[in-house]
Amino acid sequence: MIFDGDPRVAWSHGEQTMLGYGGGDHIDPGIGPDRYLRAAEALRASGKDLAFASFTFDPDEEGSVVVVPDEVVTIPARGIPAGSPVSLQPDVVLDGIEEWRRGFDRAMSALESGRVEKVVLARRMELELASPPHLPSLAEKLRLTGLSSYTFLVEGLVGCSPELLVSLRSGRLSSLALAGTAAEAGGLGSNKMEREHRLTVESVREGLEGHLRLFDEEQRETLVFGTIHHLGTRIGGLTGPGAAVTDVLSTLHPTAAVAGTPRAEALGLIREIEPRSRGRYAGPVGWFRPTGEGEFAIALRCGVIEGDRAILYAGGGIVKGSDPDEELEETEMKLVPMLSALGG
């Protein structure tokens, strides 16, 4: 049975799009490291075969959501059903620049004192739209501009992320450590970029190692998403029996790509510096099955849409030697996909 109307949730990557229809179950998995386990238990209890989920960035923060649709439709080589494109004429209510600059200064003090080796700061932008957007259409517009990315729509969170957090299929685990961002490939060769990327690779490797019985040879590459260039390293291998993607999430997230290093100290610093919660921005977003298989990206290049209001986010890694103007420009680049999709 295929439901009429708009999909409630959506996930698209490559030539496959998954759409969830119907009321289904809406589950709050709670907070803490066991929230992923509770999500897996809720799906098994539902008797359904697949759930979509979007977790908060901070494990101690409420607001994560698991959606178990009545029906999931998989469409090969097609996009998300969309209506006519509409310009939403966004007005900027808050650009987030002053708050971000104050946070940068505090982050540099923490770096100089040795409290952290890297911290990732998020910038929050608030917009007022001419009318509430049709979310599937917004997701499809993002998908078409980022075909190599992971497009998602889960309970008002919509975006198109370049960063695979973890995929587990047929006993094979994979992740993409993505850190180091520039407008041109030549801008990725600095010591700062190399250091930032190395820290992310180390954190991903550490988060995966307890779940793998055999590591693949790591693959380093330069990746392009839209007009943005990234340093990326693919990490993965073979899992043991009974592996579950939700178990991997509990040790892997947040990586140094979205929090910093050391993890606990960086998380504490983010809680002190950022004046508002990140919510589900930079948290795991994706789908999973009762078998343990699933796929999650990090919720980047995204926003939360509530009626005619949109809250957008963009972040970047700060290390010793980071320049505030260059880092702010990086957030501008990362806001472009959502601003363009909204008609800005």
Report phi then psi at 135, rounded to 5: -65, -40
Give me the mean pLDDT over the 173-193 stretch.
Answer: 91
pLDDT reading at 261 higher than 70: yes
Residue 232: closest CA among 149, 330, 315: 149
pLDDT at 1: 46
Q: Would you call 326 a catalytic residue per the annotation?
A: no
Structure tokens at 276: 């508002």
pLDDT reading at 344 higher than 80: no
Tell me which H or E stretch contains 148.
none
All structural domains of the chain with their residue ranges = 9-79+91-341
Structure tokens at 330: 């990086």
pLDDT at 81: 83
Structure tokens at 12: 């698209």
Identity of the residue numbered 30: G
pLDDT reading at 183 higher than 70: yes
Give the torsion through C-alpha atoms of 153, 231, 173, 151, to 10 deg.
Answer: 10
pLDDT reading at 3 higher than 60: no
pLDDT at 84: 65
Mean pLDDT, the chain, rounded, equals 94
Residue 175: closest CA among 297, 302, 288: 297
Q: Which residue has the higher pLDDT, 185 or 97?
A: 97
Structure tokens at 292: 């343990």
Identity of the residue numbered 320: K
Q: Which residue has the higher pLDDT, 77 or 218?
A: 218
Give me the mean pLDDT over the 322-333 stretch.
Answer: 96
Catalytic entry in 163, 196, 293, 327: 163
pLDDT reading at 139 higher than 50: yes
pLDDT digits (tens, 9 = 90+) for 279-306: 999 999 999 999 999 999 999 999 999 9
Structure tokens at 196: 């930032």
- Residue 172 burial by CB count (10 A; 0-12/13-18/19+): exposed, middle or buried? middle
Q: Would you call 192 a catalytic residue per the annotation?
A: no
pLDDT at 202: 96
Cα–Cα distance measured from residue 344 to residue 27, given in angstroms and rounded to the nearest whole number: 34
Give me the mean pLDDT over the 271-276 stretch.
Answer: 95
Superfamily, domain 9-79+91-341? Anthranilate synthase (3.60.120.10)
pLDDT reading at 87 higher than 80: no
Cα–Cα distance measured from residue 154 to residue 27, given in angstroms and rounded to the nearest whole number: 12
pLDDT digits (tens, 9 = 90+) for 20-64: 999 889 999 999 999 999 999 999 999 999 999 999 999 999 999
pLDDT digits (tens, 9 = 90+) for 187-200: 898 998 899 999 99
Residue 104: closest CA among 93, 119, 91: 119
pLDDT at 4: 61
- Tell me the percentage of the chain whose pLDDT exceeds 70: 97
pLDDT digits (tens, 9 = 90+) for 71-84: 999 998 668 887 76
How far apart, in Å, do the first and last CA atoms of the chain sit? Answer: 38
Catalytic entry in 118, 155, 293, 295: 118
